[in-house]
Structure 1
Amino acid sequence: MTHNRRTFLRAIAAGSIGTVVFGNTATAATTTTIEGGGGDIWNQADEFHYYYEEIDGDFDVTVHNTSLENTDSWAKAGIMVRQTLNADAENAMVRRRPNGEASLQWRSDNGNTTVSTTSDDGSGESEVSGGSIAADWLRLTRSGDTISAYGSTDGSNWTRIANIAPSEIDFADSAYVGLAVTSHSTGTLCAAEFESLSGISPGSNGDIGDVDVAGSVSTGDGGGDTDAVVTTGSATSVGDTSVTLNGSLNSLGGASSAEVYFEYRESGGSWNATGAQTRSSTGSYSATVSDLVTNTDYDFRAVVNASDGDTATGSIASFNTSDDSGGGGTGSGSYFDLDAGFADSSWFDDSVTVHRVQEATEGAVRSAFEASGPRLVVFEASGVIDLGGSDLSITNDQCWVAGQTAPSPGITFINGMIQVEGNDCVVQHIRIFRGEDGGAAEGADPMNNADGTSNVIFDHCTAYWGRDENLSVGYDSNNTTITNSLIAEGLDEPEENSNGSLVGDGAQNVAILGSVYAANNDRNPRLKDNTQSVVANNIVYYFDKAIMISSGAQSSVVGNSYIGRFDWSDAIIKGDGSVSIEDNYVTDPGLNGRTFCSASQLGSRPLWPSGLTAMSSGDVESHNLSYAGARPADRISHEQRVIDNVRNRSLDTSVSDPANAPGIPGNEGEVGGYPNHGGNTHSLSVPSSNLRDWIEQWALAVEEPDANPP
């Protein structure tokens, strides 16, 4: 099997929401000076100068505000996200005042009154005393529909000031993000200086509102000379031996022209250069590099040599030339390809029958699920499908459910169960929220494969609110894989019965990889009698019991992250079975002298998928929080809430009685009720050949924020 490591390595290099990254910006000592006038950024309309670009989706922007002129005690400089360029637009700004205090302010909708973490009507959102902190480094992020503001004194250790949920402020997919300065003194300009800007490459600036005196933006080294500025972009079209490198010339400084190019190298080696391109104006540029070494890590950076002798480089970014030949996997943004476990999907080829689901109804889906013969199920509609407490089963062999083909926000099932009864089946990119109304009683899982099934793959699935388990493996089944899934919030009332996954007695060759178990009291997972499994590179967060392994069971437990366990005494891994353990860790809280494993320990792995290499446990949290769940680049609020809880360690782990754990719901109403997102439709042009490539492209489109559908 082949793992799409090039995308994984690029994601690790570029970072993810919740990880501080100073990448893709110029490394020259560039100072951006913004002069802004205006009465204020406040009340129902704003007056300031804005240096910005338009961003689609998530962002993570940091900057060092090295100086701010004291034209007024409420002069402001900082990072802003803004829905439009109108003066009264919805916006959020992490701001800094001349006294050095940083805080968050926001206008919840166009024309509304602005509030802040330091004002009476916004202080309830603050996570710091008094609503502000001393900070000269500022950070603003968007993850899904949640806006978060941070401050720092060193650019490395960040304090979150506030987290604004979409119920408070809700931006469209596309918004303007940039640096904002107001003098808070009509007719006066306030100068603010910024360095180490990361996460955006502004190319536009202008005054917002009636400022009386025009503002400006300039870049330089602080001594009066302006510098050329270049930004490193992404690596695209990464092949076995070739790649396209992308960058942007942001400023020529004082020069009339400049030569731009890229430097690249095998990681740790000597730099090579692409051919130079002469530019007389700013803009993006790219270069294609060939004759690279297959399956090798590379670094690259953008370079500019201006005609006045000024030289600058962008930050170093990375890619990997993976060998994609012969793998058989669909590939994805995740480290774990579809065939990373023991199950495989080699039965699928271009001869399958395509079943189009053209409306988001149970009947339309059931017709496709219960059809016979090798088939691909694609979706031309999205929405929430209420199963009315019933089971929806894939009854016949060789069915591939490609939920990634649905338009945003995807397919979400509620109030029932999805079960795979056939062999040779793949279920990808769907959500299921069972809940109390879905007959959540003993044995009621949101998703599983039936007893005795073989060669079943669950990839990028979201499974919530089971009364028994959330996503389980059938008894006496063979070759079952669970990858990149979000398995969360097993219900715990009327009795303590909140569980993640059960691997049923006699199940052989089970692989659970790259997934997130969150707010399930127990069975994360439960490995029953005489089972064989691999549990690798998963996160388990907010739990009382992790792995329970029964008599005759064997498991390889490698590279997992155990976070936020309750006040407990049992081992993380316990039972009468046998395990090999490697590179796992426990944190927040740590083991504190308690036992990690009380089960029988083996000297080597009892089983392991051919060709699989585990990630280092140190990479697991960043990776899984970026890629777990049905549509990581298109998460709904229920998914984002759980991901944020893990990332921010939001839930109280001090409880000693798991039945009273406040982060584990007793019913769906305690966590916002069933999803009720709307739906959309689109027409799919399904090719007659290369169907696997087509499915992979749709998968990437819902896993990678910068990927496009076919």
Structure 2
Amino acid sequence: MAHHDRRTFLRAVGLGTTGVLASNYATDGVAAATTITIEGAGYDIWNARDEFHYYYTEVDGDFDVSVRVDSLEDTDDWARAGLMVRQTLNDDAEHAMIRKTPGNDTSFQWRSDDGNQAESTTSDDGSGEAEVSGGTMTATWQRLVRSDDTIEAYGSTDGENWTLIADISPGEIDFAGSAYVGLAVCSHNEGTLTTAQFSNLSGLSPGSNEDIGSVEVAGSVSTDSGDGGDGGSDTDPVVSTGSASSVDESSATLSGALDDLGGASSADAYFEWRESGASAWTATGAQTVSSTGSYDRTVSGLSADTVHEFRAAADASDGDTAVGSTNSFTTSSDGGDGGSEGSGANFDLSDGFASPDWFDDSVAVHRVTEATRSALEAAVQASGPRLVVFETSGTIDLGGSELEVTNDQCWIAGQTAPSPGITLTQGLFQVSANDCVVQHIRSRVGPGDSGDIQGNDSINSADGTSNNIFDHCTASWGVDECMSVGYDTTDTTLSNCLVYEGLHDPYGDGSDHNYASLIGDGADNVALLGNVWAKTRGRVPRLKSETTSVVANNVMYFFNEATNMDGDTEASIVGNVYIPQDLGDTVIEGGNAYLEDNVTDPSSTPLTGGTSELSSRPLWPSGFSAMASGDVESHNLSYAGARPADRTSNDSRIVTEIQDREGDAYTDSPYDYWIADHEEVGGYPQLPENTHSLNVPNSGLREWIDQWALAVEEPGASPP
């Protein structure tokens, strides 16, 4: 009998599907008197990705779960609360949900496969599955049933008489044997929590809760047994897994929280951990707690440069146990090279004066899923602390105007893009905010299709900004400078960047550009570490009036002016390699500088002219140690640029030219010649738009993006 025929028959005899199924499934769960309060934020549970808070457990096979939705705060007409079954905890997972909303009663939705667009009994594509008029009904109670491979959703006003909203059969949605079943809450209002209360949960005993997707405000779960807090009701404890901190090559500190004692007087709280892929868990020692709150434990004896999984757990004094969600972290390399997360790059993000310490697991994650200006702009100009990740590669045409990062605390992780990464063209990319990190991005501004991008850098920071880091970026084909630091800025780092081929005559009118990097008047605490400047006629770099800078371990190739300083400039210039091919003067000129271990190739080239040499460093980043100049060229040519283990043809060409001491002195390039005919450059790149789906962890975000960075910096390294 087809499932629609079976359903019609059961309704005809007055049973409904539940009349047959109810005796087939366990009905144990949280005690009826227990009130479950869930706070959840998130933009939506819809489209191809979800954001919400989930209170759940893993269920193998069939189930029959019911609950009463007592209240839902009206943060939006499409805020939602209800029962859900979910194949995985990824934000794009296959799922089915009964949803109660403030403005749209109760209906049923599903995603037929990972990454597909969601459908519902109220949507055009899903309305044909509805068994109630309009696909929605007034209901206080919800019931979700899995029978073999069929998912059935019911609503009720009294918890006894059930109305079928829809059933979804195999082929439309196919769950594997085990899945996650629980209560989902979404505010449909980013940055705002909604509160939902449930009672009479039957057939399910959740023990874990976490935010799913890129939720800006963390959710929570609490339970009240209704017994005055004396523990008279037998409910399960609730724990949540936090993040790992103080991670080194052999140890890490794990954090978690006991959210609810479940009526018990105390609980033994601990963690379980293992190397990723291992079958058995190792438990830490337990600490006995008698109230809710956070706890942590340091584990040691870990393997270096290895992904580890961990989860919070608690054994309540009444015999009940809770296990939280599984999170991960990666131990650092034990190579002792001072680099980041096992990379051979000598220069870490914190080696300059700027600090990325504002970044933590609470940041919102914004995904760029298409190689368009609008998609990137929406992510980088969002508000609040945020991480921008890429699920596409490709060339992003900025259309002839600058693209600005306008709000503070933005981390742009270009390393998360699939090969060959992200390249920006035809517009300045500018950080006009504070506390930002830009990694593994290429920008090739060029003269523009109409020749009107006059005076644009490829990448820079705006005047008056502070605490910004540009790391492993490529900046080329600028029509003024290629990569610069704004006026009156403070605490700026440029590290491991590849800066080359400013356009000498981009418009064919004799205008004389082809500059590398300018450090604007009044810029304080600028750190230029481990960069490569190549094939520019000057400003390698230019340190303007009243600037204070550290210029350490950089390679400068093919210029006729190099490091120029104004008279009141102060700098520490240490361990740099100058390789002039067309020099009309000395490589370091003017200003006031402490000079140490700088070399020229050929060595007959004069090093300084008119520079007032200081006897000690006027400034230096705390804890930073410069490499010997003899190691700099090999190191920088291996690690500078957007994706040194995955270089595009132009970046590879520059590195080869430096190694072989070859290449044209200038990229002359009048507009038409540069775009259409210049064989060495080849015009604007057209990168393939490859895509992948990122599984962004709810904790350990810094370790996760560091592992992605390692994957594009070190040949043979794998992403997380």
TM-score range, shorter chain: 0.5 to 0.7
2:347 — aligned with what? 336
Query: Quick one: structure 1 residues 365 and 408, their matched pair in 2 at CA, closer, same or farther if it must change by over 3 Å?
Result: same
Q: Which has the larger radius of gyration?
A: 2
Q: In the alignment, does 2:700 pair up with 1:686?
A: no
Distance 1:548 1:468, change over 3 A: same
1:140-193: CA deviation from partner (whole Å, max 9, x where unpaired):
xxxxxxxxxxxxxxxxxxxxxxxxxxxxxxxxxxxxxxxxxxxxxxxxxxxxxx
Shift of residue 241, structure 1, vs aligned partner: 6.3
Residues 451-508 of structure 1 show CA distances to partners (whole Å, capped at 9, x for unaligned) of 0000000000000111110000000000000000000000111322111100000000
Separation of aligned partners in 2, 1:392 and 1:693: 28
The match for 1:696 is 706
Is 1:591 aligned to residue 591 of structure 2?
A: no
Q: Which of 643-652 and 661-670 deviates more?
A: 661-670
Q: Is it true that 1:535 corresponds to 2:551 in the alignment? A: yes
Report if aligned partners of 1:426, 1:459 keep a CA contact under 8 Å in 2.
yes
The separation in 1 between residues aligned to 2:413 and 2:358, in whole angstroms, is 15
DSSP 3-state at the match of 2:650: helix
Does 2:643 correspond to 1:631?
A: yes
- 2:572 pairs, out of 556, 577, 582, with 556
TM-score (norm: length of structure 1): 0.52
Q: 1:411: Cα distance to partner?
A: 0.6
Instruction: Percent identity, please.
Output: 56
Q: Which residue is equivalent to 2:30?
A: none
Match of 1:358 in 2: 369
Q: Residue 504 of structure 2 contacts residue 511 of structure 2 at CA under 8 Å; is this kept in 1?
A: yes
Shift, 1:551, TM fit: 2.3
2:455 matched to 1:482?
Answer: no
Stretch moving more, 330-339 or 360-369: 330-339
The 5 Å alignment of 1:147-166 reads none
1:582 aligns to what?
596
Q: Distance in 2 between matches of 1:554 and 1:523?
A: 16
Query: Alignment partner for residue 498 of structure 1, among 514, 521, 539?
Result: 514
Aligned mates of 1:420, 1:526 — CA distance in 2: 20
Q: Contact conserved, 2:519 with 2:544, CA < 8 A, in 1?
A: yes
Contact 2:249 2:302 in 1 (8 A): no
**Take 1:633 and 1:321, find their aligned partners in 2: how far apart are those partners?**
19
Are the counterparts in 1 of residues 380 and 406 from structure 2 also a CA contact under 8 Å?
yes
Whether the aligned pair in 2 keeps the contact of 1:464 and 1:470 (CA below 8 Å) is: yes
Cα distance in 2 between the residues matched to 1:665 and 1:524:
21
- 1:631, 1:518 → 2: CA distance? 17
Q: Report if the CA contact (8 A) 1:521-1:664 is conserved.
A: no
The aligned residue for residue 605 of structure 1 is 617
Counterpart contact for 1:474–1:503, Cα < 8 Å: yes
Deviations 1:265-309 (A, max 9, x none): xxxxxxxxxxxxxxxxxxxxxxxxx8999xxxxxxxxxxxxxxxx
Q: 3-state SS of the aligned residue for 2:572? A: strand
SS in 2 for 1:413: strand
Aligned 1:307-706 pairs, distance under 5 A: 321-322=335-336, 332-437=343-448, 442-493=454-505, 494-568=510-584, 570-575=585-590, 577-587=591-601, 589-592=602-605, 594-651=606-663, 661-662=665-666, 665=669, 668-669=674-675, 670=678, 671-706=681-716
Report the count of equivalent residues.
387
Q: Judging changes above 3 Å, is the alpha-carbon distance between structure 1 residues 449 and 705 closer, same or farther for their aligned structure 2 residues?
A: same
**Which whole-Å CA distance do the structure 2 matches of 1:459 and 1:377 have between them?**
15
- Structure 1 position 409, deviation (Å): 0.4
Deviation track 1:592-649 (CA, whole Å, cap 9, x = no partner) reads 5x35342111111110000100011111111100101000011100111111110111
Are 1:239 and 1:321, in contact at CA under 8 Å, matched by a contact in 2?
no
Report the Cα distance in structure 1 between the residues aligned to 2:689 and 2:603, rounded to whole angstroms: 43
**Matching residue's letter, 1:540:** M
Distance in 2 between residues matched to 1:651 and 1:564, nearest whole Å: 12
State the 1:677 CA deviation. Answer: 2.0
> Given the superposition, is the C-alpha separation of residues 292 and 460 from structure 1 closer, same or farther in structure 2, using an over 3 Å criterion?
closer
Q: CA deviation at 1:330?
A: 6.7
Decide whether aligned partners of structure 1 residues 662 and 361 sit closer, same or farther in structure 2, where only a CA change above 3 A counts: closer
Mapped partners of 2:342, 2:522: distance in 1 = 30
Q: Which runs of 5+ in 1 are unaligned?
A: 1-237, 243-289, 294-318, 653-660
What is aligned with 1:109? none
Q: Distance in 2 between matches of 1:455 and 1:239?
A: 25
CA distance in structure 2 between the aligned counterparts of 1:664 and 1:639, rounded to whole angstroms: 18
Call closer, same or farther: CA 1:292–1:358 in 2, change over 3 Å: closer
Indicate how the Cα distance of structure 1 residues 616 and 665 shifts in structure 2: closer, same or farther if over 3 A, else same: farther
SS state at 1:463 partner:
strand
Q: Distance in 2 between matches of 1:666 and 1:615?
A: 40
2: CA distance between counterparts of 1:291 and 1:390?
Answer: 49
The one-character-per-residue Cα deviations of 1:407-462 (angstroms, maximum 9, x if unpaired) are 00001111111000110000000000000117565531011010000000000000
Name the SS for the 1:436 alignment partner. coil
Question: Which region of structure 1 is more displaced relative to structure 2, 433-442 or 339-348?
Answer: 433-442
Equivalent-residue separation in structure 2 for 1:529 and 1:544 (angstroms): 21
CA distance in 2, matches of 1:705, 1:477: 36
Structure-2 residue corresponding to 1:164: none
Where does 1:12-51 land on structure 2 (aligned, <5 Å)? none
2:296 paired residue number: none
Checking the alignment, whether the CA contact within 8 Å between 1:487 and 1:517 is kept in structure 2 is yes
Counterparts of 1:571 and 1:323, CA distance in 2? 33
Distance 1:424 1:651 in 2: 38
1:177 equivalent in structure 2: none
* Cα distance in 1 between the residues matched to 2:666 and 2:474: 22
1:591–1:440 CA distance, 2 compared to 1 (3 A): farther
Contact 2:478 2:503 in 1 (8 A): yes
Q: Residue 437 of structure 1 aligns to a residue in which SS?
A: coil
Paired residue type of 2:711 = A
Shift of 1:544: 0.5
Report the Cα distance in structure 2 between the residues aligned to 1:403 and 1:412, rounded to whole angstroms: 10
Q: Give distance in 2, aligned partners of 1:634 and 1:545.
A: 31
CA distance in 2, matches of 1:440, 1:557: 37
Tell me, yes or no, if the aligned pair for 2:447 and 2:454 is still in contact at 8 Å. no
Contact 1:571 1:597 in 2 (8 A): yes
Is contact 1:240–1:322 with CA below 8 Å preserved after alignment? no
Q: State the secondary structure of the residue aligned to 2:608.
A: coil
Structure 2 contact 555–578 (Cα < 8 Å) conserved: yes
**Cα distance, 1:417–1:330 mapped onto 2, change above 3 Å:** farther
Instruction: Tell me the amino acid that sits aligned with residue 648 of structure 1.
Output: D
Bigger Cα displacement from structure 2, 438-447 vs 390-399: 438-447
The residue type equivalent to 1:571 in the other structure is: T
CA contact (8 A) 1:241 1:321 kept: no
Unaligned runs of 5+ in 2: 1-246, 252-300, 305-332
Change in Cα spacing, 1:365 to 1:663, as seen in structure 2 (3 Å) is closer
Q: 1:331 to 1:609 in 2, by over 3 A?
A: farther
Structure 2: how far apart are the matches of 1:457 and 1:449?
9
1:591 positional shift? 2.8
**2-structure distance, mates of 1:362, 1:291:** 43
- Seen in structure 2, the aligned counterparts of structure 1 residues 291 and 696 have a Cα distance that, compared at 3 Å, is closer
The answer (yes or no) to whether the contact 1:330–1:338 under 8 Å persists in 2 is: no
| Displacement of 1:662 | 4.7
